[in-house]
């Protein structure tokens, strides 16, 4: 990874293609990273929402199909980032123009601050549950909230002072991934045994209550990988460039790693809620399982990767707007802000807002993939300040997404919106003007 710039530098790392000499990620690095980022308590919690809204078989079908589609979008965007060397902000500038791209970049920063804050709250509440279960300590008061938030916040700040590439290659791939795999295997065996004892046939044939259809369930599954779309290129640009005619490690590693994690965690959420006592929370159900205390602790440690991934990508996006501050300095500032917000904001009440905000990135990347994702070289950005055709398609896509949710929820929102924006973006590619190159872009926005 290129070293962070000093605060006095005006070069824009986010809008300049990463040189080949700085690319070190191989396919297994991408796989380790995205498997780790795909594992989380939030994913399991959303998986638990699927039952009893839909039957078990429909839930499994929605999990598999939604995960493959969502991870495929991530992988496609990862390939684009790896081939171009551009960060997510660079792809937005290349598609929407230098001035208009600031809007989705700002929205991305807002959502990443929100998700990082939510991750800190999830880790804090998990710590409180472990303290209660293991030591009989009640940390739900103000002092416990402060202690838990500052504890995880301090670890996050410490990670941000180091190199992202080193963290992925030395910690996530070598230590984090094996530990998370062990915890998931243990929990799967525990709750699988419970399902078998309760009668697996009854579980498998359980009908839904009709609150959600198959396509709506797929929307819920796709929501998690879609929330990572504005981040994936920030990491994939560090991948070795694929040779001519080859898909490349960024594509294969990202798709396989995230699809496996997403399917596993959603399915585990379904298993947990199907065997837990009525009214008990997911964390409580995990804790009462044999060995659940250790497994939950390992998953909480892995949750830190998600918070780090959000902050790092947010700092790259912020650096694209204000390059005089380095990526590292922006990361520390955003992390400090998230720690403060985790102490005061009712994050569980704000979770629906964060999911709604994530919905704008489905059409955003439908347009980006339609314009840039056909395998052609992407080395720079459009000279125009606003690419009106791309901007109009994005806004049309947002309206379509919410119209589908309002008037045709049985068909879902994500897939129709993605298909519409992608096809229209492909058909209107002639409306864009050739760019002047990434170096000129970086100078214009430095």
Angle value at C-alpha 17, between 14 and 23, nearest 5 degrees: 105
Question: Is residue 24's pLDDT more than 60?
Answer: yes
Establish if 236 belongs to a structural domain.
yes
Q: Does residue 7 contact residue 433 with C-beta atoms inside 8 Å?
A: no
Mean pLDDT throughout 385-391?
94
Q: What angle do CA 339, 342, 346 make, to 5 degrees?
A: 165
Q: What is the DSSP letter of 207?
A: P
Any residues with CB less than 8 A from the CB of 340 and at least 6 apart, and which? Answer: none
What pLDDT score does 382 carry? 54
> How far is the C-alpha of 115 from the C-alpha of 160, rounded, in Å?
17
Of 234, 182, 223, 183, the closest CA to residue 30 belongs to 234
Q: Residue 18 and residue 174: Cα distance in Å, rounded? A: 25
Per-residue confidence band for 31, with pLDDT thresholds at 50, 70 and 90: very high
User: What is the full DSSP assignment across 277-299?
Assistant: PTT--HHHHHHHSTTHHHHHHHH
**Whole-number Å distance between alpha carbons of 289 and 299:** 14
Q: Could you tell me the sign of the dihedral formed by the alpha carbons of 445, 104, 313, 81, in that order?
A: negative
Confidence band, pLDDT 50/70/90 cuts, at residue 338: very high
Tokens found for residue 364? 């955003």
Is pLDDT at 432 greater than 60 in this prediction? no
Q: Within a domain: residue 432?
A: no
Question: Residues 250, 30: contact at Cβ < 8 Å?
Answer: yes
**What residues make up the domain containing 171?**
26-359
**Structural domains of the chain, count:** 1
Q: Is residue 411 part of a domain?
A: no
pLDDT bracket for residue 9 (50, 70, 90) = very low
Q: 355 pLDDT band (50/70/90 cuts)?
A: low
At 166-181, the pLDDT tens digits run 888 888 888 888 888 9
Closest to 157 in 3D by CA, of 425, 340, 355, 429? 340
**φ, ψ dihedrals at 208, nearest 5°:** -90, 170
- Would you say 414 and 127 are in contact if contact means Cβ atoms under 8 Å apart? no
Contact 338, 376 (CB under 8 A): no
CB 17 within 8 A of CB 90: yes
Return the pLDDT at 247.
59
pLDDT at 77: 95
Q: Could you tell me the maximum CA-CA distance found in the chain, to the nearest angstrom? A: 65
CATH number for the domain spanning 284: value is 1.10.4160.10
Q: In the predicted model, what is the mean pLDDT of residues 119-148? A: 90
Is the pLDDT reported for residue 409 higher than 70?
Answer: yes
Quick one: pLDDT at residue 18? 92
pTM (predicted TM-score)? 0.88
Q: Which of 306, 312, 345 is nearest to 326 (CA)?
A: 312
Closest CA to 271 of 189, 214, 179, 183: 189
Q: Would you say residue 351 has pLDDT above 90?
A: no
pLDDT at 283 exceeding the cut of 90:
no
Backbone phi and psi for residue 283, each to the nearest 5 degrees, phi listed first: -60, -45
CB 300 within 8 A of CB 123: yes
Helix (H, G, I), strand (E, B) or coil at 272: helix
On whether residue 20 sits in a domain, the answer given is no
pLDDT at position 59 is 93
Q: Of 71-80, 272-281, 346-355, 363-372, which range is least confident?
A: 346-355
Distance CA 19, CA 26 (A): 15
Residue 393 lies in a domain: no
Contacts of 213 (CB under 8 A, 6+ apart): 54, 409, 410
Considering the domain boundaries, does residue 3 fall inside one?
Answer: no
In a domain, 140, yes or no: yes
pLDDT confidence bin for 354, thresholds 50/70/90: low
Q: Within a domain: residue 265?
A: yes
């Amino acid at each position: 990874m290129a070293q962070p710039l000093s605060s006095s530098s005006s070069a824009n790392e986010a809008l300049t293609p990463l040189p080949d000499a700085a690319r070190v990620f191989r396919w297994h690095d991408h796989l380790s990273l995205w498997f780790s980022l795909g594992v989380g308590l939030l994913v399991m919690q959303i998986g638990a929402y699927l039952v009893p809204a839909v039957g078990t078989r429909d839930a499994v079908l929605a999990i598999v199909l939604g995960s493959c589609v969502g991870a495929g979008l991530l992988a496609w965007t990862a390939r684009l980032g790896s081939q171009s060397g551009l960060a997510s902000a660079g792809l937005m500038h290349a598609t929407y123009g230098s001035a208009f791209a600031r809007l989705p970049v700002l929205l991305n920063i807002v959502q990443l601050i929100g998700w990082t804050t939510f991750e800190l709250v999830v880790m804090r509440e998990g710590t409180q549950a472990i303290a209660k279960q293991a030591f009989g300590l009640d940390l739900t008061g103000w002092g416990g909230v402060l202690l838990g938030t500052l504890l995880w916040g301090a670890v996050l700040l410490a990670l941000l002072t180091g190199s992202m590439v080193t963290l992925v290659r030395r910690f996530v791939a070598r230590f984090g991934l094996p530990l998370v795999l062990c915890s998931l295997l243990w929990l799967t065996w525990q709750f699988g045994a419970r399902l078998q004892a309760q009668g697996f046939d009854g579980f498998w044939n359980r009908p839904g209550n009709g609150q959600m259809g198959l396509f709506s369930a797929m929307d819920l599954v796709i929501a998690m990988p879609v929330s990572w779309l504005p981040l994936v290129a920030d990491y994939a640009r560090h991948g070795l460039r694929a040779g001519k005619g080859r898909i490349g490690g960024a594509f294969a590693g990202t798709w396989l790693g995230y699809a496996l994690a997403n399917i596993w965690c959603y399915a585990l959420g379904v298993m947990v809620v199907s065997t837990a006592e009525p009214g008990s929370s997911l964390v409580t159900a995990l804790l009462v399982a044999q060995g659940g205390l250790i497994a939950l602790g390992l998953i909480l440690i892995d949750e830190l990767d998600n918070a780090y991934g959000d902050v790092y990508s947010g700092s790259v996006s912020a650096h694209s707007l204000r390059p005089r501050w380095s990526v590292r300095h922006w990361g520390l500032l955003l992390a400090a802000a998230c720690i403060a917000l985790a102490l005061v904001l009712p994050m569980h009440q704000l979770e629906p807002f964060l999911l709604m905000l994530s919905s704008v990135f489905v059409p955003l990347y439908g347009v980006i993939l339609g314009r840039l994702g056909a395998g052609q070289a992407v080395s720079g950005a459009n000279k125009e300040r606003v690419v009106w055709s791309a901007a109009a398609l994005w806004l049309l896509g947002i309206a379509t997404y919410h119209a589908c949710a309002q008037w045709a929820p049985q068909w879902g929102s994500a897939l129709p919106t993605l298909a519409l924006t992608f096809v229209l973006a492909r058909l209107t590619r002639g409306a864009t003007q050739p760019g002047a190159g990434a170096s000129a872009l970086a100078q214009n926005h430095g």
